[in-house]
A and B are shown apart, each in its own frame.
Chain A
Amino acid sequence: MIQLVYGLVDMQSFYASCEVATRSEFSRGRLQHDDTIDPSLVVAGDPEHRRGIILAATPVAKAKGITTAMTLGEALRLDRGLIVVKPRMELYLDISVRIQQTIQQHFPLHEQFSVDEAFFAFSYPTGLFRDPIIVSQALKDAIWDQYRIRCRIGLGPNKWVAKMANKAAKKAANGVIWWREEQVQQELDGIPISGMWGVKRRGEILTRVFGCKTIGDVANISGARLKQYFGNAWGEILYRWSHGIDLSPIDPYSYEAPNKGYSHKTTLARDFEERSEVAVVLLELLDEVCERVRHSGQKGRRISVGITYAGFDGGFHKAKTLGEYTDDAKLLYPVCLSLFDCFWNGEPVRAIAVGLNDLIARTEMIQLSLFEDTIKQNRLNQVIDHLHARFGEMSLYRASSLLPAGQRETRSGKIGGHTMG
């Protein structure tokens, strides 16, 4: 009987692989099936000052004990000859977009899952897809031939099993693993709870409260018991996943769906001790958030402020829901400040985040105010957005960004908090 086989393709150490593939000093003589001849290289925040965290590491660096999110100092202690490069986010995104196109050329039913991962599905057995392993291997080869980036592929009867099989594919010689429906339970049964993708802290609860060590142990708990503890939704999900069931479809438009919220976070180069310093950054982040919300044609009413204290130790994330929807930083800024004033305990601040969610599509209707010229303010925002789109973010900005606390210039050279390259 013809059925859909689902796959998850995942690039190997994506940012680090992009660096190795695009630097002439490393690119020559690389082999698709031997990553041990690649350099010991990491992509890290600030190589000049030997600070920041590891964003990606080649398998050779990982073999030396270096892991992502480790500090650069620690990594350099593990490997004195480690090659450290700055992130080039623009390059990674350029490569990512093209790799996704290549995946889609091979498997038209495709869903981008992250910058370096994608789900796909195909009907099997059919004339086009005679052998799932061979067609997946063809995609792997194409990605290597075109981009010099290695990847691995997990195949299964649904998306969640494909994700789990993908993890197992790391150990497969050809980097492709296919779990057929009849073998899924057997494969899952022996996997430790820590390897159960997507459950987050619920994994710890499963171990602590239910005494589960493996996915097989979870599969032995009744659905009713799981629902009793985790609630109807998560109880059902845990029950299904532990039995290798996942009903979620491939969504080719997942990246085009309207956002449920927008947020920006910045980690400061030093601790901020003064309220006035934090206030400058709050406004900058809020401006960025509001501009993105306006660009998406939406408005929001739930504003949030997140603060991380010095040493990344503690902090708070608080939100307030307003009576009306807005996309105007001028209206939201006092709310941000009052949230900060309400919950800040006076400790030095190291990271600041601002978010706007509970969004709706913007209509032409404008909520008029007795005290503000809303129409004029809307037009002003439109002009600012237009100038930024045409001449860049640094073409027009608030004078407060020129204060020592201002982060705008530093942030304008970054994508996702990392250097554009």
Chain B
Amino acid sequence: MRPLGQLRRYLMLRLLHENIMQLGKYTAQELDENHIEILHIDQTAKDFRIQYRVNNKESQAIFMRVMLYSDIKAILQTLDETVEIPS
């Protein structure tokens, strides 16, 4: 990749980081508004086990990393295609 391509990529990632921080805050607010409270998250090499409370009702759920990564990778692939400048 050419230097300007690399700089462009760097700036995009910085902006993305800022956006993600904002999105994180927004999502936390949304959880609050919908009375969803995360009580505990257990992380293992393969999954997240999350204990939560919705409207005073406690529950738990399992999210596997392999599926979450798959979604994230799909998003990053789009980013990669956007910032890629052929040398």
Contact = CB atoms under 8 A, between A and B. Distances in A.
A22 B59 contact: no
Contact of B74 (A25, A102, A145): A25
A146 B73 contact: no
Nearest to A25: B74
B62 A101 contact: yes
B28 interface: no
Interface residues of A, number: 19
B63 interface: yes
A369 interface: no
B71 A27 contact: yes
A147 B67 CA distance: 7
A109 interface: no
Interface string A1-38: 00000000000000000000111110110000000000
A102 B50 CA distance: 12
B22 interface: no
B77 A24 contact: yes
Nearest to A27: B70
Interface stretch (A91-99, A168-176, A380-388): A91-99
Contacts of B66: 22, 91, 94
B39 to A, nearest CB: 15
A299 to B, nearest CB: 35
A21 B70 contact: yes
Nearest to B50: A146
B64 A24 contact: no
B71 A95 contact: no
B46 interface: yes
Interface in B18-69: 46-47, 59-64, 66-67, 69
Given A94-B46, A98-B47, A22 B62 contact: no
Contact of B70 (A22, A98, A102): A22
A245 interface: no
12 contacts: A21-B67, A24-B72, A24-B77, A27-B70, A27-B71, A27-B74, A94-B46, A101-B62, A105-B61, A146-B61, A146-B64, A148-B67
Nearest first, the 7 closest Cβ-Cβ pairs linking A and B are A24-B73, A28-B74, A24-B74, A27-B70, A22-B66, A98-B62, A24-B70
A95 B64 contact: yes
A142 interface: yes
Given A21-B67, A24-B69, A101-B62, 14 more contacts: A21-B70, A23-B70, A24-B70, A25-B74, A27-B71, A27-B74, A95-B64, A98-B47, A98-B64, A142-B61, A145-B61, A146-B62, A146-B64, A148-B67
A250 B63 CA distance: 27
B19 to A, nearest CB: 18
Contacts of B67: 21-22, 27, 147-148
Contacts of B61: 102, 105, 142, 145-146
Contacts of A146: 61-64
Interface of B: 46-47, 59-64, 66-67, 69-75, 77
A interface, over-half SS: helix
Contacts of B73: 24
Contacts of A148: 67
Contacts of A27: 67, 70-71, 74
Contacts of B64: 94-95, 98, 146-147
Interface string A120-159: 0000000000000000000000100111100000000000
Contacts of B62: 98, 101-102, 146
Contacts of B63: 146
B70 A105 contact: no
A102 B61 CA distance: 7
Contacts of A102: 61-62
Nearest to A24: B73
Interface string A354-371: 000000000000000000
Contacts of A23: 70
A108 B63 CA distance: 20
Contacts of B77: 24
A28 B74 CA distance: 6
A105 B60 CA distance: 8
Contacts of A147: 64, 67
A232 B63 CA distance: 48
Which one of A25, A27, A94 has the highest number of Cβ atoms from chain B below 10 Å of its Cβ?
A27
A23 B71 CA distance: 8
B41 to A, nearest CB: 14
A25 B73 CA distance: 9
Contacts of B72: 24
